[in-house]
A and B are shown apart, each in its own frame.
Chain A
């Protein structure tokens, strides 16, 4: 196997991420997003299985309003790009590999269970806060919005507060 390259210097990677965010603001009029893209995919799946959802009274009906198709959305294309960019970076740095990443003392079942739960919590919370680390915290801070700073503090503060309870999964 090809030798792995090191990760980029974090400050340099931060500048690159900042430029990605800046280009999103410049070209789309709003920042980056990730959980929003996931939400549109879910809306689309719900629409495919339940033909009453579009035009219905459920929460996801709003994403079909006026004949809109949830997959025809800026954020969906952006997260498709996110996947491609990550893949290219992994290819370049020799990090492409199918595997479950976990500390050696944690079982695979436990890691996958907590990964699933973590995703459920995170995206649920992101719907409430109208954005995740990308869309609410980072993009919100870029435009100096109070919502961005408050969401950022709530996410990081809470993660530190709960870290003790989940320490056995990591250290």
Chain B
């Protein structure tokens, strides 16, 4: 019912080939979206380029609807799929640190790798910094483990916490996304910076 279980149990080789292929599609999507450009990504936070929100939310909606369809056709058992565990403080504090890093460096890790793949040297520095960040976290972990573990709620779903059915929840997310797309299109017109916002 869920192909990944067969893949995991069959051979590591098959598993890694699948990972590589999924990664290639991931890489093509990010680069074609223009996420290999830090100035395009940073535009999100200064209003002149809202590609980030458009791509991000379209991807989120596509995958949400996709998992619903796969379940409906009996092709995927969501009980076997990993649901992110919710650690209240770690999610919030970690997210705030990531946001600061985003606006400093102009990338997130995935888009940094995307930019490196087409030869951006600043992305190489970003990823070296990223490796240093992972190293630092390991070094400081004894002081951070309390924060990392605090407020553990388990693999909770927002739809369940809100007491609504997954389909209704996804419909609400789509409505919110459409509102944000409308705002994004308006913002790009209002804060347009033709001097910055060309093809890089």
Contacts and interface: CB of A to CB of B under 8 A. Distances in A.
Interface string B32-54: 11101111101111101001001
A107 interface: no
B118 A87 contact: yes
Contact of A10 (B45, B58, B136): B58
A29 B96 contact: no
Contact of A21 (B63, B97, B108): B63
Interface in A1-57: 4, 6-8, 10-11, 13-32, 34-35, 38-39, 41-42, 45-46
Given A112-B125, A120-B132, A144 B81 contact: no
B60 A118 contact: no
B31 A89 contact: yes
B175 interface: no
A12 to B, nearest CB: 8
B3 A26 contact: yes
A13 B33 CA distance: 5
A130 B85 contact: yes
Given A83-B113, A83-B116, A144-B157, A158 B122 contact: no
Nearest to A157: B99
Contact of B129 (A7, A83, A118, A145): A118
Interface string A51-81: 0000000111000000000001011011111
B78 interface: yes
Contacts of B83: 143-145
Contact of A27 (B7, B36, B56, B134): B7
Given A81-B26, A81-B27, A146-B153, A131 B46 contact: no
A103 B196 contact: yes
Interface string A137-171: 11111111111111111111111111101110111
Contacts of A74: 15-16, 19
Q: What DSSP secondary structure best describes chain A's contact surface?
A: helix
A130 B98 contact: no
Contact of A117 (B48, B105, B196): B105
Nearest to B116: A83
Interface in B159-200: 159, 161, 166, 169-170, 173, 181, 193, 196, 199-200
Given A14-B55, A28-B18, A79-B113, A114 B105 contact: yes
A145 B99 contact: no
Interface of B: 2-5, 7-8, 12, 15-16, 18-34, 36-40, 42-46, 48, 51, 54-64, 66-67, 70, 75-76, 78, 80-88, 90-123, 125-139, 141-142, 144, 147-148, 153, 155-159, 161, 166, 169-170, 173, 181, 193, 196, 199-200
Interface of A: 4, 6-8, 10-11, 13-32, 34-35, 38-39, 41-42, 45-46, 58-60, 72, 74-75, 77-90, 93, 95-103, 111-134, 136-163, 165-167, 169-171
